[in-house]
C-alpha cells in the first residue's frame, strides 16, 4: 500500500512537471521564460530525486522479499562453514 501511494504521488508530480514544460513553451518575454525554465528545472530535479528514493525503496522491498524466499538451510550451511573456518584458522594461529 505504501508503494502504491508513493507511485500515485510520483505520477501526479510527473504530470505537473510535464505541464510546466508545456507552459514554458507558451511563455513570451525573456524574464518570464527564464523564470519558468528555472522553476521547471527545479521541479524536474526534485522529481528525479524523489524517483531515485522510490527506486531505493522498491529495491529494499525486493531484497527483503528475496531474503524471505531463500532456503533456511543455506543460512545454516554458511554459518557452519564460517564457524569451522574460524576454528581451523584459530588452530593454525595457535600452532605457530
**pLDDT, tens digit only, all 96 positions of the chain:** 677 888 888 889 999 989 988 888 888 888 888 998 999 999 999 999 999 998 888 888 887 766 656 667 778 888 999 999 999 999 998 876
Measured distance CA(38)–CA(54) in Å, rounded: 24
Q: How far apart are CA 91 and CA 37, in angstroms?
A: 68
Q: Where are the beta strands (DSSP E) in the chain?
A: none
CB 50 within 8 A of CB 10: yes
Q: What is the pLDDT of residue 3?
A: 76
Domain borders along the chain are 2-70
Per-residue model confidence (pLDDT) at position 23: 85
Query: Which cell goes with 5?
Result: 501511494
Amino acid at each position: 500500500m505504501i508503494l502504491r501511494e508513493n507511485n500515485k504521488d510520483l505520477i501526479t508530480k510527473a504530470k505537473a512537471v510535464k505541464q510546466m514544460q508545456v507552459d514554458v513553451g507558451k511563455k513570451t518575454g525573456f524574464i518570464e521564460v527564464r523564470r519558468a525554465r528555472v522553476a521547471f528545472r527545479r521541479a524536474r530535479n526534485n522529481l528525479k530525486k524523489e524517483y531515485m528514493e522510490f527506486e531505493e525503496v522498491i529495491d529494499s522491498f525486493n531484497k527483503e522479499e528475496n531474503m524471505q524466499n531463500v532456503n533456511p538451510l543455506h543460512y545454516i550451511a554458511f554459518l557452519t562453514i564460517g564457524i569451522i573456518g574460524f576454528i581451523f584458522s584459530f588452530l593454525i594461529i595457535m600452532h605457530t
